Amino acid sequence: MSISRAARLTAALLGCASIAPLAAQQGTAPAWTHGGVCYEIFVRSFSDSNGDGIGDLNGLIQKLDYVAGLGVNCIWLMPVAASPSYHGYDVSDYYHVEPAYGTNDDFKRLVAEAHRRGIAVLVDMVLNHSSSEHPDFQAALHDTTSPYRAWYRFARTSPGKDWHHSPVRDEYYYGVFWSGMPDLNYETLAVREEAKEIATFWLRDMGVDGFRLDAVPYLVEQGDCVMGCPGTHAFLREYAQHIDTVKPGAYTVGEAWGSIAKMLPYYPDQLTSYFGFELSDSLFSAVRSGWAAGLLTGYLRLQDTLPAYRWAPFLSNHDQTRTLTQLGGDVARARLAATLLLTLPGTPFIYYGEEIGMTGDKPDPRLRTPMQWSAGPGLGFTSGTAWESAQPDSLTTTVAAQDGDSASLLNLYRRLIHLRKENEALATGKLVPLTATSPHVAAYLRRTDGDAVLMVANLGDTPATHIVVSSEAGALPAGRYSVRNLLGRAGGAPIAVSADGRVKGYVPMRGWISPHGSVILELNRQ
């Protein structure tokens, strides 16, 4: 422990200054969230620059032009701090990069290169627990007089589930996820101060633009309460205020798994945003079932409650079965899911490899396999032997195979991500639901004061013919609109909007919409 850190610990144990709660955190959206999309990367699996089979920071730097070419303007890196585990969610040193990935200087170079391309950098911050190999936990484990005893939770007898027997003496310590991840005790002031100091280090010294916060509901346990306790909300307010002081406009997105009802207590003055797990569930349900009912419910609820930059829709992530696997290998459905995600509001996150249709299912390492750049033994990922074996389709589902194919899933993602940035209605527009004459068709508008886009998607397994869409009053300003197809060649018929702002009986396509197909129409008022 450094002298400065020891001094902070001593000061924190002696007393504390009160922290006024924020009235409203992150009042202004970070610039990158304007039409922005964030891309989740597992560094270990993205690109290996030195042939040891493990992806690294220099490899990622070499692939930044690909990332920029997707159109994303943010990357979220799964944990990059030193850790004894392959996944990094048990941190043993919060101030140094995992040696297998490179050095702190390599990381700073990555941030500089990302910023040069207009890409913000978020890193995974694991606050709930440390590694059992962290020096602080080892000190607490071996010395009952250590000040670090108060940084963790110990008991002479096991209070029950999630308490693990100490390897040193006859006692127990608390770790909600695993014995190798002892929970930090945020009721101890020094722990809260150290968490803030770590944030300062990554924001100031390492140059990041914000954090993804892992497992935030579990931060503070109080009595029988282990999730979403009052102390958790209090600390998140304290933490958010600190981040905003260190780097105004820094973006934080929290993992608070569950429904929107379970997510909303973490607003308005805690983290910037949270992942929309309910949104993911409803989107997959609509694409799998072929029924439009319920698709927009969660989006409309969040839109009525919060600015769109403060909630983060997604399809899958590093803990979940990959999209194409969830959809039974149906690429048409995967294309539809991507189109819905990227035309609906919020700040979308995309897991690496989803854009080419990578597959993967539990256990976790099989969700995080190496990026499939090209066919061959190393997949274009490594010149050595990859840390994890490739998926069965790795020789056919590659970036190289899809790059030049205008009809590929990869190029659909590229077009949609760029459209979202370039079209103001898709970037920031309000979501307006429409009714369609088929229960298998989802239809909605995205509109600003001056721009509008109409999205019509056939969720069904058969062609949708003679589809007619309508709206409630106030959907659009009255007038006549010309129509331009944003993804295809054929335009649609003009739209006439009545004086009360209703769209009445509009036929978006004179022919039919293919199974799992969609039409994205830009509306221009004459």
Q: For residue 230, is the peptide bond before it cis, meaning its omega torsion is within 30 degrees of 0?
A: no
- Check residue 511 and give its pLDDT: 77
Catalytic residue status for 461: no
Average confidence (pLDDT) over 123-127: 98
Residue 26 predicted with pLDDT over 60: no
The lowest-confidence range among 16-20, 156-160, 214-218 is 16-20
Residue 21 predicted with pLDDT over 70: no
| Per-residue pLDDT tens digits for 32-77 | 999 999 999 999 999 999 999 999 999 999 999 999 999 999 999 9
| Per-residue pLDDT tens digits for 507-516 | 998 778 999 9
Computed over every residue of the chain, the mean pLDDT equals 94
pLDDT band at 27 (very low <50, low <70, confident <90, very high): low
- Check residue 109 and give its pLDDT: 98
SS3 of 127-149:
CCECCCCCHHHHHHHHCCCCHHH
| Per-residue pLDDT tens digits for 370-393 | 999 999 889 999 999 999 999 999
- pLDDT, greater one: 491 or 299: 299
Average confidence (pLDDT) over 432-450: 97
- Check residue 495 and give its pLDDT: 94
Q: Which amino acid is at 232?
A: T
Residue 301 predicted with pLDDT over 90: yes
The distance of Cα 350 from the centroid of its chain, to the nearest Å, equals 7
Q: What is the pTM of this model?
A: 0.94
| Per-residue pLDDT tens digits for 126-183 | 999 999 999 999 999 999 999 999 999 999 999 999 999 999 999 999 999 999 999 9
The percentage of residues in the chain with a pLDDT greater than 70, rounded to a whole number, is 94
CA–CA distance, 260 with 266 (Å, rounded to integer)? 10
Residue 314 predicted with pLDDT over 70: yes
Instruction: Pick the catalytic residue from 90, 98, 214, 522.
Output: 214
pLDDT band at 415 (very low <50, low <70, confident <90, very high): very high
Catalytic residue status for 255: yes
Q: How crowded is residue 477: how many other Cβ atoms within 10 Å of its Cβ?
A: 13
Instruction: Pick the catalytic residue from 56, 255, 355, 424.
Output: 255
- Check residue 479 and give its pLDDT: 95
DSSP alpha helices (H): ranges in 290-364? 297-303, 323-326, 331-343
pLDDT band at 23 (very low <50, low <70, confident <90, very high): very low
Q: What domains does the chain contain, in order, with CATH numbers?
A: 29-128+185-422 (3.20.20.80), 132-183 (3.90.400.10), 429-525 (2.60.40.1180)
